[in-house]
Amino acid sequence: MIKYALRCGDEHEFEGWFSGSADYEHQSAEGLLSCPVCGSAEVRKALMAPYVAKSGRGASEAEQKLAVLRAQMNEAARKVRDHVEKNFEGVGDRFPEEARKIHYGEAEDRPIYGVASAAEAKALNEEGVGIARIPEPKPAPEEVKKKMN
């Protein structure tokens, strides 16, 4: 058995157990996977770090390193989000419409950000409208923040 971290098009994270990588590939190709939060069938593997269990009490060195790595990744995501919010125009749920207008030359070319459903993001990508999802950072526990400094 193998456990994969999975993520849907709306960035909901969850885990799935498979008999092997071929089992995951088969279920994915057949559209048998769906997000338990929103039901989206747009499911992909998420970035995973290896976990090495050690005997003994408390968090292992590998667990501590993983926690620090997660905190660093979240800090990077926070910085990206802060930069976008300070330097781009927020268009909210009008994002798909505004992105198309810019792409097709119907609106001023400018950096924008907003929200789009998984289906809207997929449609924009299929049309060739370049977009990128910005991950929502999760706050790091205080003990991890101390190790980062």
Q: How many residues does the chain have?
A: 149
Tokens at residue 125, please? 């990508």
Reading the chain (149 residues) residue by residue, the pLDDT tens digits are 788 889 988 888 888 888 888 888 888 888 888 888 888 889 998 866 555 555 555 667 777 788 888 888 878 888 888 899 999 999 999 999 999 999 999 999 999 999 988 889 889 989 999 898 887 766 655 655 565 55
Q: What is the dihedral of CA 27, 29, 31, 37, to 10 degrees?
A: 70
Tell me the whole-structure pTM to 2 decimals.
Answer: 0.51
Distance of CA 16 to the CA centre of its chain: 16
Q: Tell me phi and psi for residue 50, to 5 degrees.
A: -65, 150
